[in-house]
Amino acid sequence: MATNNHLSDVDSIRNVLATYCIALDTKSWELLTRVFTPTVHANYPSAVFIGVKPIAEEMKYRLEHVASQHALTTQTALLADDGQRAKVRSYFTATHFGQGRWMGWKQVVWGEFVDDLVKVDAYGIEGGAREGEVGRWRVRRRICRVVGQEGEERIMDGDVGGLE
Residuewise pLDDT in 10s, the chain (164 residues): 444 556 689 999 999 999 999 999 999 999 999 999 999 999 999 999 999 999 999 999 999 999 999 999 999 999 999 889 999 999 999 999 999 999 999 999 999 999 999 998 766 666 655 565 556 899 999 999 999 999 999 999 987 655 55
Give a yes or no: residue 71 inside a domain.
Answer: yes
Predicted TM-score (pTM) of the model is 0.88
**What CATH number should be reported for the domain holding residue 132?**
3.10.450.50
Give a yes or no: residue 125 inside a domain.
Answer: yes
Give a yes or no: residue 164 inside a domain.
Answer: no
Beta strand 48-50 with 36-43 is antiparallel
Give a yes or no: residue 146 inside a domain.
Answer: yes
Q: Which domain holds residue 21?
A: 4-159
Give a yes or no: residue 89 inside a domain.
Answer: yes
Give a yes or no: residue 30 inside a domain.
Answer: yes
Q: Which amino acid is at 141?
A: R
Give a yes or no: residue 137 inside a domain.
Answer: yes
Give a yes or no: residue 59 inside a domain.
Answer: yes
* Number of domains into which the chain is organized: 1
Residue 125: other Cβ atoms inside 10 A: 11
Cβ-in-10-Å burial (0-12, 13-18, 19+) of 88 comes to: buried
